[in-house]
Structure 1
Amino acid sequence: MTNASQDTAGRGAPASRPEPVPMPVTAVTCMEDRAQVERHGSVELAAGAQRLLVGPVTPLVVDRSLRAEVPAGDGGAGGVRVVDARVVRTYAPPRPGRPGDDASELRRRVHDLEEELRDARWLRQRLESRLAVVAQARADLYRDVAEGAGAGSADPERWADRLERIDEEDGTRTGELHLLRRRLLRTEEELEEARRALRRTEEEPQELTAVVEVVVEADRAGPAVLRLTHLVPCALWRPAYRATLAGDERSVRLETDAVVWQRTGEEWKGVRLSLSTARPTLAAGPPPLYEDELVLRDRSAGERRTVEVDLREEEVPTVGHEPAADGSAGADAELPGLSDGGEVRVMAAASPVDVACDGRPHRVRLSAFTAPCRTELACAPELSPLVARVARTVNGAGHVLLAGPVDLVRGGGFTGRGELPFAGQGEEISLSFGSEDTYRVVRHVEESRGTAGLSGVNHRTVITRTVRLFVSRLDSSPQGEAAVVVVRERVPVSEVSAVEVRLRRAACLPEPDEDVDAEGMVRYTLRLAPGERREITLEYELTAADGVVGL
């Protein structure tokens, strides 16, 4: 196995340039922003040192990543050693065909005129053949007239009818041929004018092609299996999911797909596709170092008496955290990057796949599983006034679920798109399948400020906030059953001892189901009958010591 080299081939290599050996892509490992491509094929070797050309390959091959080897036990020729391997790029005239996307309008015009001229010439040939058939029919009719008149069996009516049809066909085809010849002449003139303009304004573009030059040494002649691996840019993948909630809302089917894009210059046909979260260039070099000068100074008397605090929004990054109640993916709806939890993950497609080199997304199925779930009507009034149907289940895919978009299907129809967070094997995941139109939540917040203690002695600022929630069920069917709605509200969490947060349970109606957790979440479980409305009152105090500013 050797690295890519820019040096010339060894002295033992033949001087003549061999024909390239076609070796298509057989396996691809797609990563976050590039792909590792593997080629595998059989070659015929002669005894001694020789040079092989493999290709064509994409010119985007990363030279330093090129590896060439003869796997042990695969080759028929014994004692095969790879001496050197490198990528050889050359410019060649473009292959015949339609100009590429980057071609000029004039070059496309020349190509269109050439195609139009070719089609017109084929049509002229068909018309001339048709006129030749008409002329042969006329000659046959004249011979039939002469023979019939000489034999005394004349049929003037039949001869006149046939002659009339032959004249009609001859006139029609002659007129079409005359118009076609005028069109041919006009097209030839336009094409010649366009070619002259193209020669004056542009040079013939050259297409960059590449082959892999491999120098090998073999002890004896025979076949051998050669394997080439290298990296290419312009290829990436991201996970995508499809979650379907069963009609009885007791199970969820989660399908895991890989969305693959590639514009490497080569078609991937029937390749073994693997998906990896590895980042080959993540730690390619050490970070730059800068001088960081630290200065110590004494705080002033005012600074010692003042504590600056502020309120900030913070997302709790936990595995399997629940999405927004309305099922939205958040403000950033772009496809997220690969989040593997700090460990490289590798997944593989179950069967060979085809990925066209068109830069378009191609979905590849990775896995699917159906697991029982529990559902609830949940609402986070601070984020949305809607009540959503949330299903909670356990990851039973047999592998981790990377963060990615998930298409939500319920009742046989598409309900929206959310974002599935990273979830390990066996971890609980939450999926919101859209809002329920029969529920509404209205939220009001009232705030009052006061002081406590004596001035200069245990003086404190007290901020009292009262949150009132009105949860309504709008349907009024008397036969309807009571439904359970889970409402989650948030209480600030203090990180400094100078600020205390206290929940006033006596003023809370009804009382929360549980105590405030470490993230400040308060949960209420309500049973609502059809047409019923419930009110929730949540009150808490923020007590700040003297000298605290920013609240």
Structure 2
Amino acid sequence: MLLACVASGVQAQAPDPAASRIDKVTLYQGSATVERTLRVPAGAREAQFACLPAALDAQSLQVSGDAGLRIGELRVQTTERALASTCASPLEAKIRSLQDELANVAAAASALKLVDRYLQTVAGGTAAEGSKAVPAGATQIQATADALRRSAEDGQKRAHQLQRDKEALELRLKPLLAERERTAGQRSRVVSVQVQLASEREATLRLVYQVRGPNWQSSYRATLDVDTSKLRLERQAIVAQASGEDWSGVQLRLSTGAPARSTQGRLPPPWTLDLVPPAPPPSPAPVMSLSKGAAAPSAAREANLAEAPLPDFEVQTDEGAYATEFAVPGRTSVPSSGERVTLALGAVDAQVRLLTRTAPAMEQAAYLVAELARPSGVWPAGPVALLQGTRFVGNGRLDFAAASADTATTELAFGRDDQVTVRTDPVQEKRDTAGLTGSRTERTVQSRYRVDNRHAGAIELQVLHAAPVSRDEKIEVSSRYTPQPASLAFANKPGTVLWQQSLAAGASATFAAEHVLSYPKDAPLREHR
């Protein structure tokens, strides 16, 4: 009975039929367009959208309604939340609900203590004042003892469970109290919009406005099947907002556009020329003083610091002629606590090219790389979780904007390939003199690498090597390679040598490079490697 009282919690209040509700949200970079709806009864002359967030942009207000609903002027009013009795913040409502549950748990625990004291009194055989002890037989004594034992055991179990419930509720309440303390001055104001109208019959009134602060980030999940060379790329979005109003069961659209950006580019300022006048003699610095009751100059800065910080998201903007929007299926809820919500936006399956890449001079190890062509549509840059089958291998970044314009592909690295061994011989280096009078130094550097494929099948191998690049006409560089490289400027970086070949199962391959550097004997050589 006592536990049933605790589990019941706070009864939910019926929604106010005169209150508006959020129906649709389009989320941009650092802002959101919110659409609220309100049912207007027949004959109404005025409607009010109350408890709107203080971050609302009044210039963005748009009002519309069903056919036959005539709309007049708008009035926007900003008030303190404490003065609006019906505008308790969502955070405050959650805190009060948890505090009520804690009070129920405390009441149940107190009742259990009272029961426990009564049982102890009965078990001790203490007769009530003015009463006579009634003799009992052995059977009655045994039955009484069993009842006391069961009641005491149930009471202890209930007390333990109540303590657990109390700890769980306090754990949920603690971050909410910290959030309320952190945002004490940020959500203290609310906005209400009054609409003058004429309605002949019941209709729906819609209010659309822009609110600053909400944000979203592209995120991905890439699952590689090495046997079929197929990659499943799942598109996700991480959404967070702290606008002061919960988005509960809304139709959510995510847009790569940015209405908060400037609507036109900057114009070049005038270029003027003038002579600098002589500097005036220095004057003594004025003594700054604040009159009594005047605000300190730092007050404005402190007020700005009190503003709600934007969620720390990096969003890639589509620079095309039009923004791209992603519709989230069904209805979505995003709380106003800044909590991050991850949404699934669909997936594509793509064929990839698997490469085994190594840079032996940097590390004697090989890594598995998947080369992916850009799928159709807009793919903003974002973090990507990488998996081989069901095995999580790490995190990377998907960025088609950084891909080569010629190939329109990007690469995802899936960790070390332990079935490929890489060996590096010690670098051989020797110096000599050259020129008719021995006026030049000639330095020869030799590097040699070996790669073994222990896979059951062939691999596409890439070996990278850094070759010296002269930045001075007095320094001459000649290089010889065995075998001949596929590229001397891998990834458009001169001096990055690429060997590429198919390596059969159980096969080995060696790669060698020799560089001869010739420079003036009396000129010190500066190297950056």
What TM-score bracket applies, with the shorter chain setting the length? Answer: 0.5 to 0.7
Cα distance change on mapping 1:91 and 1:215 into 2, 3 Å = same
1:537 matched to 2:510? The reply is no
- Give yes or no for the alignment of 1:513 onto 2:486: yes
Partner of 1:150: none
Contact kept, 8 Å, 2:71 with 2:195, in 1: the verdict is no
CA deviation profile, 1:359-409 (whole Å, cap 9, x unmatched): 23221111211122221212244665431111223233x412111111111
CA 1:338/1:461 → structure 2, altered by over 3 Å: closer, same or farther? farther
Alignment of 1:27-426 (within 5 A): 27-44=24-41, 46=43, 50=46, 52-57=47-52, 59-71=53-65, 75-92=66-83, 118-120=107-109, 123=112, 161-162=139-140, 165=143, 208=188, 210-218=190-198, 220-283=199-262, 337-343=314-320, 344-381=323-360, 384-396=363-375, 398-423=376-401
Aligned twin of 1:312: none
Describe the shift of the 1:400–1:96 C-alpha distance in structure 2 as closer, same or farther (beyond 3 A). closer
**Cα displacement (A) at 1:247:** 4.3
> Residue 249 and residue 502 in structure 1: after superposition, are their counterparts in 2 closer, same or farther (change >3 A)?
farther
Q: Which amino acid aligns with 1:404?
A: G
The Cα of 1:289 is off from its aligned counterpart by: 7.4
Partner of residue 22, structure 2 = 25
- Displacement, 1:250? 2.3
Q: Tell me how far 1:56 sits from its aligned partner.
A: 3.0
Structure 1 runs not aligned, ≥5 long = 1-18, 132-144, 146-155, 178-204, 296-333
Is 1:523 aligned with 2:498? yes
Based on CA coordinates, which of the two structures has the bigger radius of gyration?
A: 1
For 2:193, give the aligned amino acid: E
Q: CA deviation at 1:114?
A: 5.2
Q: Distance in 2 between matches of 1:422 and 1:215?
A: 47
* Equivalent position of 2:282 in the other structure: none
Cα distance, 1:421 vs. partner? 0.9
Verify the 8 A CA contact 2:69 2:197 in the aligned structure 1. no
The answer (yes or no) to whether the contact 1:76–1:222 under 8 Å persists in 2 is no
Shift of 1:101: 10
Closer/same/farther in 2, CA of residues 335 and 485 from structure 1, 3 Å limit = farther
Structure 2 contact 78–189 (Cα < 8 Å) conserved: no
Give the superposition deviation at 1:37: 1.9
Conserved in 2, the CA contact under 8 Å of 1:20 and 1:56?
A: no
CA–CA distance in 2 between the matches of 1:395 and 1:245? 16
How far is 1:443 from its partner? 7.9
1:206-238 superposed Cα distances (whole Å, 9 cap, x missing partner): 9836352222232x5322322222233442111
1:120 is displaced (CA, Å) by: 4.9
Distance in 2 of aligned mates of 1:36 and 1:128 = 60
Alignment check: 8 A CA contact 1:70 1:224 kept:
no
Instruction: Give distance in 2, aligned partners of 1:97 and 1:362.
Output: 17
Q: Tell me the TM-score normalised to structure 1 length.
A: 0.60
1:445 to partner: Cα distance = 6.3
Offset, 1:531 = 7.1
The one-letter code of the counterpart of 1:367 is G
Distance 1:228 1:125 in 2: 55
- The one of 397, 422, 434 aligned to 1:440: 422
**Matched length:** 423
Gaps of 5+ in 2: 1-15, 121-133, 156-183, 276-310
- Range 87-96 or range 37-46, more displaced: 87-96
Relative distance call for 1:64 and 1:411 in structure 2 (3 A) is same
Q: Check conservation: 1:241, 1:257, Cα contact below 8 A.
A: yes
Is the Cα contact below 8 Å between 2:360 and 2:464 reproduced in 1? yes
Name which of 445, 461, 479 aligns with 1:485.
461
Matched residue SS, 1:80: strand
Q: CA deviation at 1:69?
A: 0.8
Distance 2:261 2:415 in 1: 38
Deviation per residue, 1:31-53 (Å, 9 max, x gap) = 222322221232225365x3x22
Contact 1:238/1:335 (<8 A) preserved? no
- State the secondary structure of the residue aligned to 1:530: coil
Could you list the per-position Cα deviations for residues 430-482 of structure 1 after superposition, in whole angstroms to 9, with x for gaps in the alignment?
22211111322548667888998899xxx99888674624233274x9xx555
The change in CA–CA distance for 1:116 and 1:416 in structure 2 (over 3 A counts) is: closer
Q: Supply the AA of the counterpart residue of 2:485.
A: P
SS of residue paired to 1:119: helix
Partner letter of residue 361 of structure 1?
A: R
Partner of 2:8: none
The root-mean-square deviation of aligned C-alpha atoms, in Å, is: 5.3
Equivalent residues of 2:18, 2:39 under 8 A apart: no
The CA distance in 2 between the partners of 1:399 and 1:85, in whole Å, is 41
TM-score, normalised by the number of residues in structure 2: 0.62
- Distance change (3 Å), C-alpha of 1:227 and 1:123: same
Contact residue 386 and residue 436 of structure 1 kept, 8 A? yes
Once the two structures are superposed, residues 328-353 of structure 1 have per-residue CA deviations (whole angstroms, 9 ceiling, x without a partner) of xxxxxx98722235234322223322
Contact 2:453 2:504 survives alignment (8 Å): no
* 1:428 has 2:417 as partner: no
CA distance in 1 between partners of 2:273 and 2:468 (Å): 36
